[in-house]
Structure 1
Amino acid sequence: MTIDWSRQRILVLAPHPDDETLGCGGLMSKAAEAGGEIYVQFLTVGDTADFSPAGLSTADERYAEIEKVAESYGWRQWHIAFPGDDYHLKLDALPRFDLIGAIERHSPLAINTIEPTVVIAPHRTSYNQDHQVAAEAALAALRPSNTALKHHPSLVLSYEEAADQWRADAVPPPNLLVELQPHHVDHKIHAMSLYGTQVHDHPHTRSELTLRSLAALRGMQGGTSFAEGFHCLRWLG
């Protein structure tokens, strides 16, 4: 089974800036190289207390990082649905109706607006509350319906992040592997480095070694050098 990425209009849903690169940075590199269109809908960003030397990453810093990453990948457009400290790391307090509405129809990058052929969202198994509600809202926004009345992307995937494995219950293995070439992995690592407030030295879930190791593991499972793993929720061939 192969996908012609040059023909795809891809919408990536990212709870926060860097989730899109962690989850499907290699796929975005591969698709952009082929000529596919990539749109990234961030859900929220704000000032964040962290383990950086300053102890805080500001929203302005994060916006500047997004601009660099967007240029690196060649995204067609990106947007933040719920910016500000009232929402950042608090998406679980937002009415689910509002979150679903933004993904489905009320954002400049809503599914009904740009009519993507591929939608890629986080997986419900993440320990992070923003990721969990984003995944559930995406499922609701992409619910089965009459294709004559509502746009249905042909391919719906959930991406994984290394930290998703931190669960008390079993995490299902990916059921779709996207083969990557070494330069796609290098591009993903470079893009992650542009998120200077978020990247960390090893051992960390966002370290270069972690990202390369996960790509090598998924590649091995598919009989190739590198890959990214996804959970396929819909495939209309």
Structure 2
Amino acid sequence: MRRVVLAPHCDDETLGCGGLLAKYPGETSVVVIAMPDDVRRKEFNVAKDILGYESAIFLGLCDGNIGEDMHRLVGILDQVVSDMRPDELYLPFPSMHQDHIAAYEAGIRAGRLSMSEGHWFTPSLYVYDVAAYDLSLYPTDLKWDFFESLREDDIDKKVDALSAYSSQAVTGPHPINSVKQQAAVIGNARQIDWAEPYSLVRGVRV
């Protein structure tokens, strides 16, 4: 199984898929689209070590403006997907941030069935939640309808990895500060202890 997580920025991979990365470290790669500053890059490396996965790629696009040239972004992701040939591709929910919308749109296009020779058709596409925004400016029919069962060790690693991003810390009540509690509530509602929510866009088992 090959899984690829598309992250608009360093920390989105952990916010959305930290449990998945901890559960399948040898099968999952992260592709960071926006170029981080030195501080965020160091925090990313610490978080990656905590979660235990090895494979990470940085595309180096302009933070806050990765969708300026959507044609170019789709072409870059087409090449990444063709090179990595994932069985599952994970995209950010198109929330308030323009980079998340661009990453989602370009990722969906990169996951398309294409007539172009050499294009990799990713069998399964998922959208992950980034628990940082409570409003959506982007109308979709996405629903949280797929749930990854986690061990407590997986969710604890996710919490520790998020703590590595001290430059992004939020004080007081905030979804980012209740990741473990949310995982318990989401899991308990499905009769499991811990879970991460995803939206299944397309699922193919072979």
TM-score by length of 1: 0.79
| Aligned residues of 1:41 and 1:78 also touching (Cα < 8 A) | yes
Matched, 1:100 2:69: no
1:225-236 paired onto structure 2 within 5 Å = 225-236=193-204
Q: Report the alpha carbon displacement of residue 10 of structure 1 after superposing the two structures with TM.
A: 1.3
Q: List runs of 5+ in structure 1 lacking aligned partners.
A: 1-7, 47-58
| Greater RCO, CA 8 A, separation 6+ | 2
Match of 1:130 among 90, 96, 99: 99
Which stretches of structure 1, 4 residues or longer, exceed 4 Å deviation after superposition?
146-149, 168-172
* 1:64-120 C-alpha deviation (Å, 9 max, x unpaired): 11121222223332122124xxx111223x210111111111xxxx11011111111
In the other structure, the counterpart of 2:57 is 79
The 1-side partners of 2:51 and 2:180 are apart by 18
The verdict on how the C-alpha distance between 1:101 and 1:187 changes in structure 2, with shifts beyond 3 A counting, is same
1:4 aligned residue: none
CA contact 1:162–1:214 (8 Å) conserved in 2: no
Would you say the 8 A contact 1:13–1:40 is kept in 2?
Answer: yes
Number of residue pairs aligned between Structure 1 and Structure 2? 204
Q: Distance in 2 between matches of 1:148 and 1:88?
A: 31
The verdict on how the C-alpha distance between 1:146 and 1:236 changes in structure 2, with shifts beyond 3 A counting, is farther
SS, match of residue 187 in structure 2? helix
Tell me how far 1:148 sits from its aligned partner: 7.8
- Residues 37 and 76, structure 1, Cα contact 8 Å, conserved in 2: no
The answer as to whether partners of 1:45 and 1:62 remain within 8 angstroms in 2 is: no
Counterpart pick for 1:40 among 23, 30, 33: 30
TM-score for both structures, normalised by structure 2 = 0.90
Q: What is the alpha-carbon root mean square deviation over aligned residues?
A: 2.1
Amino-acid identity (%): 27
Paired with 2:155 and 2:119, the residues of 1 have a C-alpha distance of 35
Report if aligned partners of 2:22, 2:53 keep a CA contact under 8 Å in 1: no
> Could you tell me how far 1:194 is from its partner in structure 2?
1.1
In structure 2, runs of 5+ residues without a counterpart are: none
- In 2, are the aligned partners of 1:29 and 1:184 still within 8 Å (CA)? yes
Question: Residues 108-153 of structure 1, C-alpha deviation per residue, up to 9 Å, x if partnerless?
Answer: xx110111111111022x1111101110000011112369843222
